Amino acid sequence: MSYMYGDPEKFGLTTVGEIDWSSGSYEFDLTVVWQRKFDGVFVYGEDSGCSCPAPFESTGVDELTQITSLESFKQHLAERRRDGYYDRSDEVARLLERLHGLGLR
């Protein structure tokens, strides 16, 4: 069985980047950004859980959120960062820089 996180191409997506907000100890708490191949739009999804389920195994492409601007996504990540226990500032900066480099304004 294929799922979006493990096989994005089968869902018409290209992975741009991700941030794992968890400790990484038998758990995940992901924000993942993809670009839709058919129209180039950037979308993101968030999923968390223990090591048993695969990330996004029960999430469909239609459940992803479109990124309308770099600034709005930056604000969303700032909220996630405030709510988190681990400093992911470097990962956030790299993801935002990559999105900017791909043309998101």
Helix H or strand E encompassing 47: strand 42-50
3-state helix, strand, coil in the chain (%, to 5): 30, 30, 40
Domain hosting 77: range is 8-101
> Is residue 2 a part of any domain in this protein?
no
Kindly give the confidence (pLDDT) of every residue in the chain, 105 residues in length, as a single tens digit, with 9 standing for 90 and above: 688 999 999 999 999 999 999 988 899 999 999 999 999 999 999 999 998 889 999 999 999 999 999 999 999 999 998 877 889 999 999 999 999 999 999
Rounded to whole angstroms, the Cα distance separating 42 from 33 reads 7
Q: What is the pTM (predicted TM-score) of this model? A: 0.95
Number of domains the chain contains: 1
